[in-house]
Amino acid sequence: MRKAFISPSKYVQGENELLNLGYFVTSFGKKALLIANQSDIDRVRKQLDYTAEKYNCLFVTAGFNGECSRIEVERLKKLAITEQCDCTIGLGGGKAIDTAKCVAEGNAVIIVPTIAATDAPTSHSAVLYTPDGAFDDYAYFKQSPSVVLIDTQIIAQAPVRFLVSGMGDALSTYFEARANQKSYANINAGLPCGVREQLCEGAKPTLAAFALATLCYQTLLKDGKKAKASCIDKVVTPALENVIEANILLSGLGFESGGLAGAHAVHDGLTILEETHHYYHGEKVAFGTLVQLILENSPEEELKEVLDFCLSVNLPVCLEDIGVKTISDQQLTEVAEKTIIPEESIHSMPFPVTVEGIKAAILLADTIGKNYKTTGKFVK
């Protein structure tokens, strides 16, 4: 049986680690293209100046326009060539990070997240948008980032909703990896057909990936509530350190090497509802995880454990929690149809799925979530 494990070359996490950014730049050369929103640069200006002086390197600011579009990527590629940059840095949130990945095309890229809202920093994929912000396409590269550098002091200063959203994204990792283990699905089964040949075609999840996905879930249950409290107080504690690692590293390796399944496919289906657009990726994935558990007919004890965790950190447990106060049968059908399109990861579940089955699971997850939230019971 062919197996594969995908990961960044280096992952470094700790307080004030941004002060060491220059060290990693010098492993490639002296000059780095810095892709970041100006507000993020201003927020860490002292650290950037310090590390540039200490390690005798230069950051070329890109004037990033905030959108990971093909036009912006091409502009920044030309700038990197003109300035003779030795590496690319993506600093900030998801769009700056994805733009850096696209500019570098898998070569000499350093990722510096300033929030822990998703597990994307460690991955070798990115999302492209049109210049006006609409979804364009996915991009995949030959390898994961060279360095992922996490400054936990900076992440502790970010709004707490980002951290909680990251927990929602990470929550699905174990359950989706478990589904892939049961179905013997390929880890890239949820990717568009055109990019599968570039990756590990036919590869199954490793024991290592499933172990990391399991640890991710265990860490959330143990430290999630305390980590949220730490972020509210803007202090770094062991619990916050552990959850940042779970959100970014454990979840990132767990999803990319363990595979996606129902939760993320349901997320993708829900995005057709305009009301959900104001909610973060991980918030919708959390509800998608509950839908996956309903599809699997998971034991009541497991559902309660997930519901208790979600409620303890204020993650969504019903449609209303992601902005959907009412949903027509036609809308529900469209969500389900989007969820089970041929290229979706839902087909990594260890059983066939249908539109009617997805509709039923969404409705039951919504009912259970609402009842449990208000009464602490599955039924009124």
- Return the active site residues: 169, 264, 267, 281
Query: Is 100 one of the annotated binding-site residues?
Result: no
| Distance from C-alpha of 195 to C-alpha of 201, rounded to nearest angstrom | 10
Task: Provide the CA 181 distance to its chain's centre, in angstroms.
Answer: 21
Q: Are strands 125-129 and 135-140 parallel, antiparallel or unpaired?
A: antiparallel
- Residue 94, annotated as binding a ligand: yes
Whether 98 has a binding-site annotation, put simply, is yes
CB within 8 Å of 292: residues ≥ 6 apart: 172, 175, 176, 179, 261, 262, 263, 266, 349, 361
Rounded to whole angstroms, the Cα distance separating 265 from 92 reads 26
Q: Does the annotation flag 234 for ligand binding? A: no
Which letter, b or e, does each residue of 201-235 get, where b requires 16 or more Cβ atoms within 10 Å of its Cβ? eebbbbeebbebbbbbbebbeebbbebbebbeeee
217 is in an annotated binding site: no
> What's the rounded Cα separation, in Å, for the pair 242 and 170?
12
How many residues can be counted in the chain?
A: 380
376 is in an annotated binding site: no
**265 annotated as a binding-site residue:** no
The burial of 186, by beta-carbon neighbours within 10 Å (0-12 exposed, 13-18 middle, 19 or more buried), is given as: buried
59 near 48, Cβ under 8 Å? yes
| 268 annotated among ligand-binding-site residues | no
169 labelled binding-site residue: yes
CA atoms within 13 A on the CB side of 267: 21
Biggest alpha carbon–alpha carbon distance for the chain: 66
Binding residues for glycerol: 119, 169, 264, 281
Binding residues: 94-98, 119, 123, 129, 169, 264, 281
Binding residues for NAD(+): 94-98, 123, 129
